[in-house]
Amino acid sequence: MDKQSITISQALAEAHRHIDQIDARILLEHVLDVAHAFLLTYPDYVLTALQQEMYLHFVQSRMEGVPVAYLVGKRDFFDLTFKVSQAVLVPRPETELLVELALDLTASGKPYRILDLGTGSGVIAITLARHRPQARIVAVDRSDDAIAIARWNAENLGVSNLRFIAGNWFDELSGEEFDLIVSNPPYVAESDPHLQQGDLRFEPLIALSAGKNGLTCIRHIIEAAPSHLVDSGWLLLEHGYNQADECRQLLQNKDFSNIRSYPDLAGIMRVTGGQINA
């Protein structure tokens, strides 16, 4: 993009030569601090020099692979908007499946105890807390920086039925039991070349990488979950596109029942779950 005076429609067209159309739009909305409708209504609005400078900077960063969510500092998830930073994974649409399944399992509105392991920005725990105000939710993450972002989101979204714990998986939960444990743990194999490509390069390795075959965290959570679940309690795990069979096997090894994998919108088995002592 060059530095002559440009209008909204010119800025979008020029940016779209280098980056995705939706990314170009979201970045311009952010720079102008306007909603999408403004871009549609005023295509001939001329950007100020400062706005143009900022937009150029953001488009350049996006071209280098920085996720849009980090550039604008937020991401929509389910029906809420969450603050994000490079300390947390960018929430993915696939994870909404995990939340939908968790809401189905807790539909009766009882005071369920729910645990979210590896909460990151808090999207799963906070969305559940908003939709299930009677539930008591615990959210754990090993990263202090992630917990700080999640706390900020909870406060900003007015959620109080939620307790945050900085720690390693179940380590700080001795003696505590839950009706439902949910987790979107790291599940990328450490040798996976995707970790060195595209947007993943900018996301925290602790949120992505999980041992040789990507199953280290999943295996640990399935091993330890039964002693933190009430009878008939559920465990729901998000996992990689090719990990459903192994997840079901691991659940079977620990005597879970009603084991099932659930497809995301792309038809990929993305969440696997089961019930203990049912």
Ligand X SMILES: C[S@@+](CC[C@H](N)C(=O)[O-])C[C@H]1O[C@@H](n2cnc3c(N)ncnc32)[C@H](O)[C@@H]1O
Q: How many helices (H) and strands (E) does the chain have?
A: 11, 9
Q: For residue 45, with 0-12 CB atoms within 10 Å meaning exposed, 13-18 middle and 19 or more buried, which class applies?
A: middle
Residues 127 and 158: their CA atoms lie apart, in Å, by 11
Burial 236-247 (b: 16+ CB within 10 A, else e): bbbbbeebbebb
Q: Are 22 and 28 in contact (CB under 8 A)?
A: no
59, 67, 120, 221: residue in contact with ligand X (rule CB under 6 A): 120
Amino acid found at 227:
S
Least Cβ distance, residue 216 to ligand X (angstroms) = 9
Piece of 31-39, 154-162, 178-186, 267-275 that binds ligand X (CB under 6 A)? 178-186
Q: What is the DSSP letter of 209?
A: B
Residue nearer to ligand X on the CB measure, 59 or 273 = 273
Q: Does 275 bind ligand X (CB under 6 A)?
A: no
Residue nearer to ligand X on the CB measure, 10 or 213 = 213
Q: Does 247 bind ligand X (CB under 6 A)?
A: no
Q: Does 264 bind ligand X (CB under 6 A)?
A: no
Least Cβ distance, residue 175 to ligand X (angstroms) = 18
Least Cβ distance, residue 164 to ligand X (angstroms) = 12
58, 70, 112, 169: residue in contact with ligand X (rule CB under 6 A): 169
| Tokens 């099932």, located at residue | 260
Q: Are 45 and 31 in contact (CB under 8 A)?
A: no
Q: Are 84 and 43 in contact (CB under 8 A)?
A: no
Q: Does 105 bind ligand X (CB under 6 A)?
A: no
Cα dist. 8→17, 52, 73, 182, 210 in Å? 15, 10, 22, 43, 43
Q: Does 240 bind ligand X (CB under 6 A)?
A: no
89, 114, 128, 162: residue in contact with ligand X (rule CB under 6 A): 89
What is the enclosing helix (H) or strand (E) of 154? helix 144-156
Two tokens at 154? 């909870």
Instruction: Kindly determine how many residues on this chain lie close enough to bind ligand X according to the rule CB under 6 A.
Output: 22
Q: Does 81 bind ligand X (CB under 6 A)?
A: no
51, 52, 95, 272: residue in contact with ligand X (rule CB under 6 A): 95
Piece of 21-29, 65-73, 84-92, 260-268 that binds ligand X (CB under 6 A)? 84-92
Q: Does 146 bind ligand X (CB under 6 A)?
A: yes
Quote the Cα angle for 134-136-140, to 5°.
150
Residue nearer to ligand X on the CB measure, 47 or 98 = 98
Chain residues in the site for ligand X (CB under 6 A): 88-89, 91, 95, 118-121, 123-124, 140-143, 146, 168-169, 184-186, 206-207
